[in-house]
Amino acid sequence: MVIVRCLIVVAASLSWPLHQLDSKADYSLFIKNDGTYLTILFIYVDAILITGNNIESIKALKQFLYTRFLIKDLGDLKFFLGIEIARSKKGIYISQRKYDLEIIKDSGYLGAKPVEFPMEECKLSDKGELLKNPCAYQRLDGRLIYLTITKPDITYSVHILSRFMHEPRQPHMATALRVVHYLKSASGQGLLLHSNNPLHLKAFCDSDWAGCPITRRSTTRYCVFLGNSLISWRTKRQKTVSLSSVEAEYIAMTDPITLFCDNQDALHIAKNHVFHERTRHIEMDCHFIRDKILQGEVVTRYVISSQQLVDVFTKALGKEKFKQLICKLGVIDIHSPT
């Protein structure tokens, strides 16, 4: 679904020097570039998305498909795989409001009191009474995972809840239901993909050192912007146990372009040509970031911790900090009263 977000963002303005090809990132994505015009086709089962920067090229592709398949043109994209799309002069807005409301209804929380942030500042562990019906927890968590396609604000909470899918306990279910309470106040929230967008990639990365109370592994998180539009994000536990916060942050830096990090030591290790003895045990594939910097493909920048956008993907935050960060990520609610 990251491909779909990128596809929508670049639709009207991008011209890449590519030949006709299928995407290595997604084999259902096909791109044609004839020098000036770019046409993109995305297929999912029996649904097709077509976009590009020239209306005549799009019409020609549609006509080609008409001659070979029985298809129906539904016009401008409004709804796709549970994702709702709205347009304005400001850009394209994507959300999952209908799917969101279905989760609230099926959980029996339509009349529940909403909360303003999804998770309390606490760490879940493997303690507590096992659920008698784990399937209810697993189904809810699975639905919440799909909701993170357009809701980066619940990504961290869902990541934590997913760690306990095999043996969910009462505290885990209580936390999952709090997320549903939060959805009650944020059902219309989604992402705005700006129409006047500079086509420049920038990324923020961070980690919480030894944040998992069970494995003591750190959690990497990153988010990537195309101009001012958030197009990709992830929260993931690292494969190895880092012995310091510097190592954890350095491992988190193995993602691209203009890279913002709030750890000065990690930035120093990435730029320094000398291989430090204390970093010898870090997996060698993590050191490719240094080569990318030397090649000029990645530029690192320091960002103060208070301005680190990816905090929302790695830790439970209080209401004020949480609202501040999701606003900077481009999360808005077009259904809220003005």
Q: DSSP for 203-264?
A: EEEEEETT--TTT---EEEEEEEETTEEEEEEEEE-SS--SSHHHHHHHHT-S-SEEEES-H
Backbone CA torsion sign across 174, 175, 180, 185: positive
Tell me the average pLDDT across 276-304.
58
Q: Select from 1.10.10.10, 3.40.50.150, 3.30.420.10, 2.40.50.140 the CATH code of 197-313.
A: 3.30.420.10
Q: Write down the domain spans for the chain.
A: 2-77, 95-191, 197-313
d(CA 168, CA 132): 9
Element (H, E) at 52: strand 47-52
d(CA 41, CA 58): 9
Ramachandran bin of 43, using left for φ above 0, alpha for ψ from -120 to 50, beta for the remaining angles: beta
d(CA 124, CA 103): 23
Q: Is 203:303 a contact under the CB 8 Å cutoff?
A: no
Q: DSSP for 60-75?
A: HHHHHHHTTS------
Using alpha carbons, list the distances in angstroms from residue 52 to 56, 63, 78, 123.
10, 15, 17, 45
Highest mean pLDDT, choosing among 51-55, 100-104, 245-249 = 100-104
Q: Which residue shows structure tokens 């097709």?
A: 48
pLDDT band of 187, cuts 50, 70, 90: confident
Q: Which residue shows structure tokens 């304005």?
A: 88
Q: Is the pTM value of this prediction over 0.75?
A: no
With pLDDT > 90 as the criterion, what percentage of the chain qualifies?
Answer: 23
Q: Is the pLDDT of residue 335 over 80?
A: no
